[in-house]
Amino acid sequence: MKSPSAPKQITWVIGLLFGILGIIGHYANVPFLTENNYILLLIGFIALAAGTTFKDI
């Protein structure tokens, strides 16, 4: 099994951005964010997981 590597900065920023938008959608009533808060969190988590699993992402 490969050891995890640090994701590229752009991958980390994208994952963080989607995660923050999902959290804002959970706690604030913003129409698009509130309807899709779990999807946004999932996209952020997948981006970070893919960034640590695969080397050039």
Cα separation, 10 vs 33, whole angstroms: 22
Q: Is the pLDDT of residue 57 over 80?
A: no
Q: What is the pLDDT of residues 8-56, one digit of tens each?
A: 999 999 999 999 999 999 999 999 999 999 999 999 999 999 999 888 7
Domain that includes residue 33, residue range: 9-53
Give the pair of three-digit tokens for residue 42: 């999932």
Say if 2 falls within a structural domain: no
Say if 4 falls within a structural domain: no
Say if 18 falls within a structural domain: yes
Amino acid code (one letter) for 11: T
